[in-house]
């Protein structure tokens, strides 16, 4: 294992290498925006890609994936290759992060408990547990905008800026709408709350099916389409861009209410 700097977004733990070298990987899973590598020791390597992080795999000397073959030599690592994991199979996994907003942390199961996400991360949006009733419980007392609420990982896990904009357009809901307006006086989901849950699931399923990449806007309905006609049939509105919480929001002011 090779570490080329002492930190990313946060400093690496002092025993980072020691606790990883020689360990068998039992499983690789995901929770929200976190990648989780379960180790034979019981530890869990938790990783976050941040804004620009990515992994590439070098197998038997050639990079796995698209593009030309790449032959791994320590002297030929790229400028922003910060962590190199050398596997017993002969493969090498390299973490690259130009902006260094990503981070890695080792969770100790005996200290951090069985589910470190309890109370910190909401339900996965494609799980059965993410229903209109679950969303209502999270939004009931929210005074923030609907856009801000959906970006809060405690409300729903893993939704990012692009897909929140896309889902809100599908549900015909304004990103500026107060989050609690999707809850009836009796505390039940308003009809538009049901529509939003369906829109979130459909947006993510469509993204997975088409392997969307944030750098491309050709398949997005509203994201990065400022000034263009709204794609909703019969609308006739023009996509607008506003800033919420320091992030760009794209929406149609005509059909999203």
Structure tokens at 71: 């032959």
**pLDDT of 217 strictly over 90:** no
- How far is residue 61 from each of residues 54, 57, 66, 121, measured CA to CA in Å? 19, 10, 15, 39
- How far is residue 123 from each of residues 32, 40, 120, 158, 225, measured CA to CA in Å? 8, 27, 10, 9, 30
Q: pLDDT tens, 34-82?
A: 899 999 999 999 999 988 899 998 876 555 554 444 444 554 688 899 9
Q: Which CATH architecture has domain 2-112?
A: Alpha-Beta Barrel (3.20)
Q: How far apart are CA 108 and CA 87, in angstroms?
A: 22
Q: How far apart are CA 165 and CA 180, in angstroms?
A: 18
Q: How far apart are CA 82 and CA 52, in angstroms?
A: 13
Which neighbouring-strand residues pair with 84? 2, 94
- How far is residue 199 from each of residues 92, 121, 173, 176, 203, measured CA to CA in Å? 39, 20, 10, 17, 6
CATH code 1.10.8.50 region(s) in the chain: 132-251
* Fold of the CATH domain 132-251: Helicase, Ruva Protein; domain 3 (1.10.8)
- pTM of the predicted model, to two decimals? 0.74
Structure tokens at 89: 């199979």
**pLDDT of 249 strictly over 60:** yes
Q: pLDDT tens, 168-194?
A: 999 999 999 999 999 998 999 999 999
Q: In degrees, to the nearest 5, what angle opens at C-alpha 88 toward C-alphas 83 and 92?
A: 35
What is the predicted pLDDT for the residue at 59? 79
**pLDDT of 229 strictly over 80:** yes
**pLDDT of 195 strictly over 60:** yes
- Across 28-32, 181-185, 249-253, the highest mean pLDDT is recorded for 249-253
What is the predicted pLDDT for the residue at 189? 94
CATH code 3.20.190.10 region(s) in the chain: 2-112
What is the predicted pLDDT for the residue at 62? 54
The counts of H helices and E strands in the chain are: 6, 11
What is the predicted pLDDT for the residue at 210? 76
- How far is residue 253 from each of residues 39, 67, 147, 165, 237, measured CA to CA in Å? 49, 41, 14, 13, 7
Q: pLDDT tens, 122-162?
A: 899 999 999 999 999 999 888 899 999 999 988 999 899 99
Task: Specify the pairing of strand 25-31 against strand 92-96.
Answer: unpaired
Percent of the chain with pLDDT over 90: 66
What is the predicted pLDDT for the residue at 33? 83
What is the predicted pLDDT for the residue at 246? 92
Q: What is the mean pLDDT of the chain?
A: 87
Buried b (16+ CB within 10 A) or exposed e, 111-135: eeeeebeeeebbbbbeeeebebebb
């Amino acid at each position: 294992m090779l570490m080329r700097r002492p930190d990313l977004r946060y400093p690496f733990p002092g025993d980072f290498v020691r606790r990883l070298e020689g360990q068998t990987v039992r499983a690789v899973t995901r929770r929200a925006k976190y990648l989780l590598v379960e180790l034979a020791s019981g530890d869990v390597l938790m990783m976050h890609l941040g804004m620009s992080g990515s992994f590439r795999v070098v197998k038997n000397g050639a990079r796995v994936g698209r593009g030309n073959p790449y032959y791994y030599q320590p002297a030929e690592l790229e400028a922003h290759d910060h962590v190199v994991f050398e596997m017993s199979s002969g493969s090498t996994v390299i973490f690259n992060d130009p902006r260094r907003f990503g981070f890695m942390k080792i969770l100790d199961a005996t200290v951090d408990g069985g589910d470190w996400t309890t109370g910190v991360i909401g339900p996965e949006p494609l799980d059965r547990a993410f229903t209109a009733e679950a969303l209502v419980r999270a939004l009931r007392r929210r005074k923030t905008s609907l856009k801000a609420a959906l970006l809060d990982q405690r409300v729903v896990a893993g939704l990012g800026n692009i897909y929140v904009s896309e889902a809100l357009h599908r549900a015909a809901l304004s990103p500026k709408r107060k989050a609690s307006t999707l809850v009836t006086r009796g505390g039940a989901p308003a009809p538009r709350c049901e529509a939003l849950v369906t829109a979130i699931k459909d947006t993510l399923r469509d993204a997975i099916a088409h392997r969307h990449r944030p750098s491309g806007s050709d398949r997005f309905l509203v994201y990065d389409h400022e000034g263009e006609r709204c794609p909703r049939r019969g609308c006739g509105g023009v996509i607008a861009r506003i800033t919420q919480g320091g992030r760009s929001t794209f929406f149609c002011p005509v059909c999203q209410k």
